[in-house]
Structure 1
Amino acid sequence: MSLAPRRAGWDTIQYGDDDFRWAAQQLGLPDNAFLGEDGADARRGVLAHLGDLDVAACPGSGKTTLLVAKLALMLRDWQGRGQGICVISHTNVARHEIETRLAPAAGGHRLLAYPHFVGTIHGFVNQFLAGPALRSQGIVPRFIDDAFANRVRTAKLPFKTRSGMATAGVELGKLQVLDADGDLGDVKWGRGNLRKDGEAYQALRSAFVDSMAEGYLRYDEIFLWAESLLARSPSLLGDIRRRFPIVFIDEVQDTTEPQARILHRLFTAGEGSAVRQRFGDMNQAIFGHADASDAVASTDAFPRDGCAWPIANSHRFCSAIAALADPVAPKPAGLVGMRQASPTPGHAIFLFERAAAAQVLPTFARRILAHVPAGMLKDGRFKAIGHVHKPRVDGSDHLVVGDYCPGYDHERSGLDPRPTRFVQALATARSKHGDVRQTVDQIAGAVLHLARLADPNAKVSRRERRHLEVLDALGDDDTARRIYLGLVELVARGRLPADEQEWAEKWVPRWTRVAAAIAGCEPGDVGAFLDWTPLGSQQDKTPASNTFSYAHAAGKLEIDVGSIHAAKGETHTATLVLETFYRGNNLARLKPWLLGARHGDEQTSATIRDSLKQHYVAMTRPSHLLCMAMDAADFSDQDVDAMIARQWAVARVSSTGEVWL
């Protein structure tokens, strides 16, 4: 059977400048947004091309906007019956951004319904491959989550095995099954490998196999089941390519090796491939781990020779920020900043004494007030971000984000925060101002987690939205449904418990009642999930512990604090990059790049390459002001001279304030 997809007529269309102006108008952009002043902007070529394409887009290039514009054009002219466009993202946040931006465009809502697909790679594989594969084996997918699957598996292990793992330094979370039959490969145990026919290995294997049979899987384990289904039914490849003759993959740099293998097999390998267009920037591949063998995909590397399409001009920042950030990219793109530069840019480095770390944010606030236009202070976005934002657990004094912002709570920061306490989840959901759907789904996620803590076997339907899963699970229990909807409305309106007493007496009993209706039993030992933790003011935009407020003559300046990972994709008015410690101080490690002695380097160590990518992402967030905070002990007077020569303003920060050099 041929794998060649039947075309829906779209591949014969020739788009021109009038179409590109129409797309810009649909998105509320200037008519020449995709053409440029001279009509030769690289974005024009992306919209015009209907074959395979790898768009290597720099930070601030409007990559997602460009993808949405192309989708709007194709949906306008799509005629395929039973055939659709497939759009794959790597996070729910990215998927939500595509949906939100496309919604106002004429016909944009069509992408959200059959025969099209827009969602995460896990959602696609689960819907079309892993889900059917599991059900064919009599397995009902109950909960796909790394932490929860590990918890279930640990509980299945005999005490002797758990004790042996602790002695041998084996972490269950780092073990990986290699196939759907539960092969764990070689398991390091002390100085050697665990015998595969031994008691401990078999206990581990049984824990993995049994938990998968019960429907509890890690995220990437669904790819194993997808592979097993394709091995049994190779004709599915042709079915998928006929259903989706064109696929768009966003944020492709975040693709892991297992994901790349399945995507390549589904849409590209062999004859009769679907048209594939990928969008990303390998310089921003920060979601893998430097030590992970599959952190960056080697299968079908991006961008591919012959279809690479670079976009190196950014509308986000000016030429000064571009010049400071470009050397830090492992593979510099030759960044071009298109925003008009300020006559007094003010980009600065703060060299702080370790005892004065808490003075860094006030110094940043004063720099903002001095160099950001007064009209932007009220609605501007100001953020301080660092690589390592989880608190220290080893008793060291290594720098983390919390050293700059006392009270910082890492569990309220992230792309999709997963607080360890219910009340934190509510506070995080409340902070999603202007996005009721996201708020409600985050609340629903916390309720479902509580129900599963009560009973890991609680049966919950798999729906596109977690809120719908809760409503389905509550069934005809009108009392629980009324309680749930009432509490959701309270939080969506900004209401949270004022103190521990109100939480314990009024909120916990109601949430427990809802969770019991879902689980079919009262929540018993749920650890600290229902414990109280202090919250910020109910009027705050975000939980107060992750916002630094600085009072000034005209009002109050608020600076959000978080991780570099959580800031990826964001645009800030001003960004402060914080020194943190990972196998050494990160910014000190990057001294040659920051001082202009080195320009990129893909051949350096994995640790340095990871730091380069992290801080390239961080340094390309701001539109107006870039500042960096570094440990003064790591930089000499000669280094300071080099900083000034690169047009940085430099201040030494102590407990009494800053002194500009």
Structure 2
Amino acid sequence: MPLPSLADVTEEEIAELAISAGGLDLSHPVRRQFLTEMGSKDVQAAPGAGKTTLLGLKLRLIGRRWNPAMSAVAVVTHTNVAKREIQDQLKDHPEAECLLRYPHFIGTLTQFAHQFLALPTCSGLGFEIQTIDTGIFRSAAIKALMGASNTHGWLAGRSGLPIKAPYMQRVRAGAEKIAAVLTLDANNPWTLAPPENLGTGTPTYAALQAVKSSLNARGLFSYEDMMAVANHALQNISGLSQAVAGRFPMLVLDEAQDTSSEAFQMLHAVRDAGSVLQCIGDVNQAILTDGASPAWNLDSSALDLNESKRFGPSIATVASKLGVHRPQQIVSTKEPDSLLYAILFPDGAEHLVPNEYAKIIAKDIGPDGDFWAAGHRRNPSETATKKQLVIGSYFPNLSPSSSAPLGPTLHQAIIQFGWGGCGLDVVEDAIRQSVQHCCDLTDDQQKVFRQGWLLKALDRRLPDLAASLRVWISTYLGSPPITEQEWQAAQIALLAALGPLNPASLKVTTCHQLSICTDPSAPVDVASDRSRVLINVEGANIPINVGTIASIKGQTHDATLILQTAFFNMKPFGKFAEALKATTAKSWGPKESTLLANFYVAASRPRRLLAVAAETSQISEEHRNLMTLSGWTIVDVQAPPTAAT
């Protein structure tokens, strides 16, 4: 069956769409080409280029021309939040609402792989599935690895910790790393994909295979396992790729930069069987911890959507210098220009930086707006032998943001997860908020609960609590409590799961404050991987949100402050200044590429003001002068006076 054609799109139709395009210039040649393109194509879209809006408009054009005699379209992305953003672009537009229903698909890559490939294949492979969840699987894998003493020496060597660190601490750190790669082999899904540099004939591989087999025998699988099964099916079941391509002759991948090589293998198999594959994203926002190249390889015919309406020319120039994966000269259409500040401080004066940032905001913007400070690390490494600058160094009294109301959020998150309305991260945040409400946590426990990914943090510091909470999550996500009685039972079970905490810390005997949700469809509002501080500047309170760079990806702010935080043994802002100085594309090492990709993400968030905070020693006099000439305002923080002895 044919796909709709967009060759007949008229100027009048484009003008009509432009009314609801939020000021997006649809006459831009690249935007116009993508709107009507129905062949395979990559689109490199700069931050603020309006790609989600553009994708929504394209789907509206397709929806207007689609009829039941035509083939279906699949739109895949990475998170339920992104999925809802795309769906929201189509709601209230009757001509496009058909794309929200069968036979079309709008969902995550994981959902696509499960629904159309992996789950139908699993029974044929003999797998009896109880749970498909990477977090639950990894928690069980860590426990199993810790119990497999014949792997301890190898795990300790893989930990990345100094040799002088306690042995079992190194074993634990190694188990956490290896648990993340205990994945089925797509070539032989009954076996373990060999971890890097480990031969399949070694005793260690045999021990890891035994751990993997025992977990799978219990019905525990990860999302990565299901992607391996999906690729195995496409490789080995005759005609399957052609059948999927026939079902979906057009695939659109959003946020392509976040796609794994395994997911691209799946998508390319369907494309090679006859489907159109369009990929849109910003490859320079690919943050890879090992410095590897992104799996998304844009071809030479990729569309370069380099126009941004988010920030002014100053930030556009900075972001262009920081793009390490694919050079792109970002062009700004925003007026007036954005502001650039560099806050330089001597050793020991980092805690004064937030006040300087708040003063800048008060002077240039005012108290109303979305203001952020972000860095790489929230807390120092447990094995650090010298001082590390982390987010907490700048905000020593940081506490989690908990402005969201308690009450139904936990139940609401569980119900919405069941129909794909939110992700596991939202459930985790709802649990974090509930535990903080039900328990009088110690200072050490509060530090753990403030960390970004709750269950990962608990795995490291409170593993018994992590295990009991994972069991609770698995139980109630698998069978969501619907009635009041079922939810009361879930509350009692939650308190039982909190047993590994000091029983004296419980402030309540039941969780009756967490009432059953009466409107599950309402947006879930929970605390997230951020905190908030209020800084008073001449009587005005300046609210500053604080989080990791990873947590602000995809956001837009009024002002963003990039904090110098520990990153391997580098001088982060020395590399930042070096990138700004470069006049041609520069080749960076793996760790440098990862560092600069993080800076690119953070620097491209603000609309009105970008600031960086760095130790004075990180910026040479040459770089300081260059930044001044490039429009940066330098603010020197004075060291606090030392007490007389």
Residue 508 (structure 2) aligns with: 505
Partner AA of 2:554 in structure 1: G
Partner of 1:435: none
Q: CA deviation at 1:289?
A: 2.0
Counterparts in 2 of 1:427 and 1:315: CA distance versus 1, 3 Å: farther
Change in 2 beyond 3 A, CA 1:13/1:507 = farther
User: For residue 555 of structure 2, what is the aligned residue in structure 1?
Assistant: 570
Partner SS for 1:355: coil
Give the Cα separation in 2 of the matches to 1:590 and 1:235.
50
CA distance 1:645–1:249, change in 2 (3 Å): same
Q: What is the letter of the counterpart of residue 363 of structure 1?
A: E
SS in 1 for 2:47: coil
Aligned residue for 1:654, secondary structure, equals coil
Equivalent residue letter for 1:403: S
Q: Secondary structure at the match of 1:559?
A: strand
**1:37-186 residue pairs with structure 2 within 5 A?**
39-81=27-69, 83-157=71-145, 158-169=147-158, 171-172=174-175, 173-174=177-178, 175-177=181-183, 178-179=185-186, 180-185=189-194
For residue 589 of structure 2, what is the aligned residue in structure 1?
A: 605
Is 2:286 aligned against 1:278? no
The 2-side partners of 1:397 and 1:612 are apart by: 23
Secondary structure, in 3 states, of the residue corresponding to 2:192? Answer: coil
Q: State the match for 1:537 in structure 2.
A: none
Partner Cα distance (1:550, 1:142) in 2: 49
Secondary structure at 1:569 match in 2 = coil
Specify whether residues 49 and 163 from structure 1 end up closer, same or farther in structure 2 by C-alpha distance, changes over 3 A only.
Answer: closer
Structure 2 regions of 5+ residues with no counterpart?
160-173, 403-422, 438-452, 455-462, 495-502, 517-524
Query: Are residue 338 (structure 1) and residue 339 (structure 2) matched?
Result: no
Post-superposition offset of 1:628: 0.7
Question: Paired residue for 1:368, among 361, 364, 368?
Answer: 361
Partner residue of 1:481? 487
User: Offset at 1:616?
Assistant: 1.4
What letter is aligned with 1:269? D
Deviation at 1:142, TM superposition (A): 2.9
Q: What SS does structure 1 have at the residue aligned with 2:87?
A: helix
Counterpart pick for 1:388 among 377, 391, 412: 377
Say if 1:103 and 1:337 are closer, same or farther in 2 by CA, change over 3 A: same
AA matched with 1:557: I
1:530 matched residue in structure 2: none
Mapped partners of 2:594, 2:361: distance in 1: 29
SS of the equivalent of 2:17 reads: helix
Q: What SS does the aligned partner of 2:191 have?
A: coil
Alignment CA distance shift 1:276-1:428 (3 Å): farther
* Residues 279-329 of structure 1 deviation map (CA, whole Å, 9 limit, x = unaligned): 01221111x22345xx621xxx532223x1111110001112212322121
Task: Report if aligned partners of 1:54, 1:302 keep a CA contact under 8 Å in 2.
Answer: no
Q: Which amino acid aligns with 1:254?
A: D
CA spacing shift, 1:544–1:45, aligned 2, 3 Å: closer
Match of 2:241 among 237, 247, 255: 237
2:374–2:548 CA contact under 8 A, matched in 1: yes
Q: Given that residues 400 and 530 in structure 2 are in contact (C-alpha distance below 8 angstroms), is that contact kept between their aligned partners in structure 1?
A: no
Name the structure 2 match of 1:546. Answer: 531
Instruction: Please tell me whether the aligned partners of residues 556 and 606 of structure 2 are also in contact (alpha carbons under 8 angstroms).
Output: yes
CA distance in 2, matches of 1:155, 1:169: 17
Cα distance change on mapping 1:427 and 1:643 into 2, 3 Å: farther
Return the alpha-carbon distance in structure 2 between the equivalents of residues 149 and 455 of structure 1.
Answer: 13
2: distance between equivalents of 1:554 and 1:81?
Answer: 65
State the AA in 2 paired with 1:29. G
What is the aligned partner in structure 2 of residue 590 from structure 1? 576
TM-score (norm 2): 0.77
Distance 1:348 1:576, change over 3 A: same
The verdict on how the C-alpha distance between 1:197 and 1:275 changes in structure 2, with shifts beyond 3 A counting, is closer
User: What is the CA distance between 1:541 and its match in structure 2?
Assistant: 9.3
Could you tell me how far 1:384 is from its partner in structure 2? 0.9
**1:196 pairs with one of 198, 201, 214:** 201
In 1, distance between residues paired with 2:281 and 2:430? 35
1:302 aligned counterpart, secondary structure: coil
1:424 is paired with a residue whose SS is helix
Quick one: structure 1 residues 346 and 314, their matched pair in 2 at CA, closer, same or farther if it must change by over 3 Å?
closer
Whether the 8 Å contact between 2:252 and 2:277 is mirrored in structure 1 is yes
1:612–1:544 distance in 2 versus 1, CA, 3 Å? closer
Tell me how far 1:240 sits from its aligned partner.
0.9
The counterpart of 2:606, out of the listed 622, 643, 661, is: 622
Deviations 1:573-605 (A, max 9, x none): 1111111121223222232123x244432x321
> In structure 2, what is the equivalent of residue 518 of structure 1?
none
Q: Which moved more, 1:157-166 or 1:359-368?
A: 157-166
CA-to-partner distance for each residue in 1:123-146, whole Å, 9 max, x for gaps?
A: 110111111111223424333333
Q: Is the 8 A contact 1:20 1:47 kept in 2?
A: no
Query: 1:93-140: CA deviations, max 9, x gaps?
Result: 222222233323334443332111111111110111111111223424
Per the normalisation by structure 1, the TM-score is: 0.76
Residue 94 of structure 2: SS of its match in structure 1? coil
Q: Distance in 1 between matches of 2:96 and 2:510?
A: 40
Query: What is the CA RMSD across the aligned residues, in angstroms?
Result: 4.0
Q: Which residue of 2 aligns with 1:522?
A: none
The aligned residue for residue 171 of structure 2 is none
Q: Is residue 261 of structure 1 aligned with residue 265 of structure 2?
A: yes
Amino acid at match of 1:340: E
SS of equivalent to 1:333:
coil
What secondary structure is seen at the aligned counterpart in 2 of 1:210? helix
Instruction: Describe the SS at the equivalent of 1:105.
Output: coil
Cα distance in structure 1, aligned partners of 2:317 and 2:470: 53
SS of equivalent to 1:206: helix
**Residue of structure 1 in register with 2:213 after alignment:** 209
Q: 1:639 to 1:455 in 2, by over 3 A?
A: closer
Separation in 1 of the partners of 2:513 and 2:355?
A: 42
Letter in 2 for 1:262: M
Decide which of 294, 298, 303 is 1:309's aligned counterpart: 303
> CA–CA distance in 1 between the matches of 2:70 and 2:472?
36
Amino acid at match of 1:281: D
Deviations 1:201-247, CA, capped at 9 Å, x for gaps: 32320211232243322222212111222233221112111111111
Alignment deviations for residues 10-62 of structure 1 (CA, whole Å, 9 cap, x no partner) = 0265212222233334x4635xx342xxx344312211222222111111111
Contact 2:42/2:278 (CA < 8 Å) preserved in 1? yes
Q: 1:205 to 1:556 in 2, by over 3 A?
A: same
**How many correspondences in the alignment?**
563
Q: Secondary structure at the match of 2:358?
A: helix
- Residues 212-227 of structure 1: pairs in structure 2 closer than 5 A: 212-227=216-231
1:424 counterpart residue number: 432
**Distance change (3 Å), C-alpha of 1:163 and 1:484:** closer
Q: Which residue of 2 aligns with 1:290?
A: 290
- The alignment partner of 1:181 has SS state of strand
Extract unaligned runs of 5+ from structure 1.
1-5, 430-441, 444-448, 489-499, 515-539
Identity, % of aligned positions: 24
Distance apart, 1:481 and its partner CA? 3.3
Residue by residue, what CA displacement relative to the aligned partner does 1:141-187 show, whole Å, maximum 9, x if unpaired? Answer: 33333342133234445542253345544634334443412234366
Contact residue 401 and residue 527 of structure 2 kept, 8 A: no
Residue identity matched to 2:432: Q
Match of 2:499 in 1: none
- Deviation for aligned residue 1:656: 4.6
Given that residues 401 and 531 in structure 2 are in contact (C-alpha distance below 8 angstroms), is that contact kept between their aligned partners in structure 1? no
- Contact 1:23–1:73 (Cα < 8 Å) also in 2: no
